[in-house]
Amino acid sequence: FLKPDSKAIQDYDKFRKEFGRDEFFVIAITGEPVLNVEYLATLKELHEELGRSVDYLQSVESLVNVRSIYGAEDDLIAEELLEELPETAEQMAVITERVRNKPIYYGRLINTKEDATTLLVKLLPYVPTTLPDGTQHLHNLADEEMFAVYNHLLDVAASFEPKFGDNAKILIGGTPASG
């Protein structure tokens, strides 16, 4: 949209150099019903794999770790939605009710048809490196590092896509993926 030598791009690059980058990927999984025991187990497995294997990771957000706040008798309970994976139809019904009673989840983590969900993969704005003298130094996440993460995400997506079902499709987007 803008030429690389435009003042707006130069100002933006200066800002990123001073304050770090705010880069993220959105992983969308479409084509299969989300609110069932097997799907959520696979989603949790993917979420945990991303947490283990993605370099420069700040956080992963999905239905797995979204906060679920609800009342139980005289208490207010705040926990991860999938702190305990549902194993029975009754437990799944509780999770489904919690999701359906929180409009904030729709359009962000699950679509209204309940056949697509997203994971937000946030990267660190700065990368710590150890210099030869042993001191720590922070540098901005480089384009090459972001593209390495993107390629890793593509590999993880390819390995997980069949686990979600025959009609499942995993798509990856975000600034680093389009750049």
Amino acid at 125: P
Q: How confident is the model at residue 121 (pLDDT cuts 50, 70, 90)?
A: very high
Unique residue bearing structure tokens 């239905």? 63
Average pLDDT over the chain, rounded to whole? Answer: 89
Answer yes or no: is pLDDT of 173 > 60. yes
- As a whole number, mean pLDDT of residues 124-142 equals 87
Q: What is the pLDDT of residues 58-92, one digit of tens each?
A: 999 999 999 888 778 888 888 888 889 999 999 99
List Cα–Cα distances, 16 to 53, 58, 107, 148, in angstroms: 26, 17, 29, 20
Residue type, 71: G
Positive or negative, the Cα torsion across 10, 140, 56, 21?
negative
